[in-house]
A and B are shown apart, each in its own frame.
Chain A
Amino acid sequence: MSEKITFTLNDVSTTVDVEPETLLIDVLREDLNLTGTKRGCDNSTCGTCTVVVNGKAIKSCNTPVSKVAGTEVITIEGLAKGMELHPIQKSISESGAVQCGFCTPGIIMELYGLLENNPDITLAEMQNALNKHLCRCTGYEPIRDGALMAQKLMQDRK
């Protein structure tokens, strides 16, 4: 039985009428047409489906939509303000971290969950977070560089 579930999505109150066990990734991609959130695996291993719920990065491929009722959900589409990129997007786009770009939205959302909460996280915390994401293109170094650039930009804006 489908039911109405309401949450805030990228600052806009959103209601969907779906089976409550439908996975958040499917609601985002199929019902709400937000295709920036990607699916890369079947078992919540790759991290590319990561979105931020109530300030915390989670995997949308193992989260039933009922769990986000009443929460604030942010997806990759919610980061840029008009033409202005979020510092994480800007840094990741310039550091060489983008090759095929398929893991990119998940990594950006992971960093968003981390750095918006605390821009002064340690390198070890950042590395633990990045270790949850698979990238087949870059060798990770440019992702680390982009993350550090973003951290610096976000520390400076305080």
Chain B
Amino acid sequence: MKEPPNEIMRGIFYQYHVPVILFIEQGETMEYKYVGKNYNRPDAISKVTGKAIYLDDIRLPGMLHTAILRPEYAHAKILSIDTASAEKMPGVVKVVTGKGCHYHYGDNIRDLVPMAVEKVRYIGEPVAAVVADTLAHAEAAMQTIKVEYEPLPVYVDARDAMKPGAALIHEENGQYWHLPTLTPTPGTNIANTYRLVKGKGADGMKDAEVILEGEFLFPHGSCSAIEPHGSIVWFKEDKTIEAWSSSICPFIIREDLATSYGVPVSDVRVHIPDVGGCFGYKSDITVEQTVAWIASFVPGRPVKWVATRQEDYTSTLLGHGIRTIMKIGAKKDGKLVAIQATILHSGGAYADTPVNVTMAATHNCTGPYEFEHCDLTGYTVYTNTPAVGAFRGYGHQESQLATERMMDMLARKLKMDPWELREKNFLGEGKVNALGEKMWKTHGDIYKCAEIVKKKVYGKAKHAEDENFYYGRGFAAVMKSPKGAPFSTKGCYMKMNIDGSVSVVMAGAEVGQGLRTVIRQVAGEALKIPPEKVRVYTEIDTQFSPYEWQTIGSMFTTQGGRAIIRAADKLIAILKATAAQVLKTDVDYLEYDGEFIYLCNDPDIRVAIKDINRGYITDDGITIGDMAQAVSDARLPRYSNPDKNGQGSCGVSYTFGVQAAEIRIEKKTGKIFVDKFTSVFDVGQVINPKQIRGSVMGGVLMSIGAALYEKVDYDENGKITNPHFFKYHLPTYKEAPEMDVEFVETPDAIGPFGARGIGEHSVIGPAPAILNAIYDATGVDFFEIPVTPEIMKKALENQGQVTK
């Protein structure tokens, strides 16, 4: 990180200023009272005092601890498990294996098991567990368990697992319950094939005058939140189940445990404490089922499990693992005509969690461009690695790495300016994406984003090569939609208290993204009261919290914000109905200003909100009117399943942006320094400038990590060789570039006050922008990441063979 500019030494608050380009119809600037301003996070104080409660900080009466045994092989039959010694060790309460486990679980494909039954399919799979009074006792006993295996062939790459004759990772493939939209291929390791055809499909390529092909790899990575995953499960004597998890999907955990253990959904209570980072992998139920299986053997006692850092890599969900084989056809003038792509997803040992990532990677591989003809196929393939799940960006950064590198290469082939090529094909107003969704002005203005980045980064001379460094610039234009589910919704319960303060309860998981601040500001704006008067929930408890599918897809501000506005509207309507009786008039003659309801033609005739929010007490004590409280929810409008062509209303909400990297490559070492990184997104409406800047910067750095350092490595036996921070390198302070972050605000049609999603989008551009910059600096094209100093150095040494 570079030294801060002088402003910070003087004024300190400079970073709160986020330049915003307002782009609203009629050229008018929309001014909100609370939205668009900086408010501090309501959870900041508990976090800086060490009082925030995370999963591992929870202590329950009688709580036991568990240590889980992992296999020595990534794919093997279990011949025998000897637990006799472990059972006699000090403090041991129970030793658990998968023997007798008859259930599978999963939301998309029910192929998951809580503990290995007859075989292990990846190196981190639970094989057995010890429950003991202390973790140390559990770990000591776990070491004494002896397991005999018969090794089977191991596949870590989808291409190998797909080969004819490959050993089956799931002999049952095709027999598991799955969503009707999925198509497994029995007798193979292909868990799902998703196909999208638009226009003439593959035949569209015949209309092209120039064709470019490429193959790109975004390898497995780990979300690596600083808080490892963990959960606590407690089977209670009254036949209810109580669970705590460092998760973002309490309601999925509740429904899944209820199904697996045959109890009513309402008898499972799930708590979500503060979550120390998620970035994707704490969505979907995985570890909770394993802890539940273990805890089910010691009913009456809560059992806690927290991943070691090694287990966080080997035994929770990984990300990426996507190979994109792409062919783009264009006219000589740069008009894109057709795209063909095959997404090979090394999905890991279980396909329930990767299958939607594959689909998102497939239908979003067009990037922010219109192609008249698309033929896109995505394969979710079983491999002997930890299952892949959500990773911030959810398929988009993986396949758009290909698109954005291809666009630069195509521009070269066409001898065209890469900006001009992109601008000619952007998914602007009136264009139709691969899914068949038409873009409207309210989807945002990518042209404007491009214009700003071009000016900022390319409006000056490129740094000239010197003795020690090559210099380069590269950019990428990106697009992201949520990958949701048709029924996904976010609930809101809002109640106004006697003093006019408001309590808002929702079930959005606060993983650091700052949604509690957003709730305060949106509710304040909607109710016309200062955000300081809005108190936001501090934990999620399915016993009290309104339903939320899960906090994913960058959708909390958009959907949750909409739900808040709906609740506020209902609450104001209740107040007006009461006021109409008090003021003896009709509801539609009344106005609300946050403090009073007053008559529109004579504001002196009014009643104070605090006098009617629990009903109005008349002179004789008789009380009229409803309590000022409301329940609402919001889902994306008309979100649908894909149709027979793989198309449909499967995106609905889009955010577009452009990002650029300015880099330096050390000639001696091959080390790549990102000196400056620029991001411009059309977010519709900034809710909190400080928070949105922080979110974008964090995403950018995370993806710089993917581009330059991060990759889960396997040996030939499927063992992960770098399951620790000192081997799996996360970007540190000194590796963070200077960040330039700016927003365009073309109001969205769905989100609150025009705001659209931005939580994940900043991770999409950095890898292709950096790879494009490497080409700009050295003339070397890379097709996979990370580009480590060793790889870069080798490429520079071979540069004689590369045409610049």
Contact = CB atoms under 8 A, between A and B. Distances in A.
A59 interface: no
Interface string A24-46: 00000100011111111111011
B228 interface: yes
B733 A79 contact: no
Q: Is the interface of B mostly helix, strand, loop or mixed?
A: loop
B732 A145 contact: no
Contact of A45 (B40, B45, B726): B726
Given A93-B45, A103-B226, A133 B733 contact: yes
B226 A35 contact: no
Given A99-B694, A101-B274, A43 B4 contact: no
Nearest to B224: A136
Chain B interface residue number, banded? 35 or more
Contacts of B420: none
B226 A141 contact: no
Given A42-B310, A103-B226, A89 B48 contact: yes
Given A127-B733, A148-B4, A100 B227 contact: yes
A60 interface: no
Interface in A80-122: 80, 85, 89-90, 92-96, 98-105, 108
B50 interface: yes
Interface in A34-88: 34-43, 45-46, 48, 75-77, 79-80, 85
Contacts of B697: 138-139, 141-142
A93 B42 CA distance: 10
B47 interface: yes
A101 B513 CA distance: 11
B51 A99 contact: no
Given A93-B44, A100-B276, A123-B3, A131 B734 contact: yes
Contacts of B46: 101
Interface in B294-315: 308-310
Contact of A41 (B8, B279, B725): B725
A42 B724 contact: yes
A123 B118 CA distance: 58
B512 A101 contact: yes
A5 to B, nearest CB: 18
Contacts of A127: 1, 733-734
Given A96-B690, A104-B48, A136-B226, A42 B308 contact: yes
A38 B227 contact: yes
A145 B3 CA distance: 11
Contact of A94 (B9, B44, B275, B701): B44
Given A137-B698, A141-B15, A144-B4, A96 B48 contact: no
A139 B736 contact: yes
Given A41-B724, A138-B697, A35 B48 contact: no
Interface residues of A, number: 57
Nearest to A142: B694
A88 to B, nearest CB: 8
A35 B306 CA distance: 14
A125 to B, nearest CB: 13
A104 B691 CA distance: 16
Given A93-B44, A100-B226, A136-B702, A43 B513 contact: no
Contact of B698 (A79, A99, A101, A145): A99
A95 B48 CA distance: 12
Given A96-B690, A99-B514, A136 B54 contact: no
B50 A75 contact: yes
Contacts of A35: 50, 53-54, 56-57
Interface string B487-531: 000000000000000000000000111100000000000000000
A125 B309 CA distance: 29
A102 B733 contact: no
Nearest to A108: B48
Contacts of A94: 40, 44
Given A131-B734, A141-B15, A148-B9, A98 B48 contact: yes
B48 A136 contact: no
B47 A148 contact: no
A148 B690 CA distance: 17
B751 interface: no
A98 B47 contact: yes
A101 B43 CA distance: 9
Contact of A136 (B50, B52, B225): B225
Interface string B1-33: 101100011001001100000000000000000
A145 B49 contact: no
A139 B47 contact: no
Contact of A40 (B43, B45, B309, B726): B309
Nearest to A80: B49
A126 to B, nearest CB: 10
A24 to B, nearest CB: 15
Contacts of B733: 127, 130-131, 133, 140, 143-144
Given A92-B48, A94-B44, A40 B228 contact: yes
Contacts of B41: 93, 98
A134 interface: yes
Residue among B51, B698, B739 with the highest chain A CB neighbour number at 10 A: B698
Given A77-B49, A98-B41, A134-B725, 7 more contacts: A43-B724, A43-B726, A76-B48, A93-B41, A94-B40, A98-B48, A134-B732
Interface of B: 1, 3-4, 8-9, 12, 15-16, 40-41, 43-54, 56-57, 59, 223-228, 274-279, 308-310, 511-514, 690-691, 693-695, 697-698, 700-702, 724-726, 730, 732-734, 736, 739
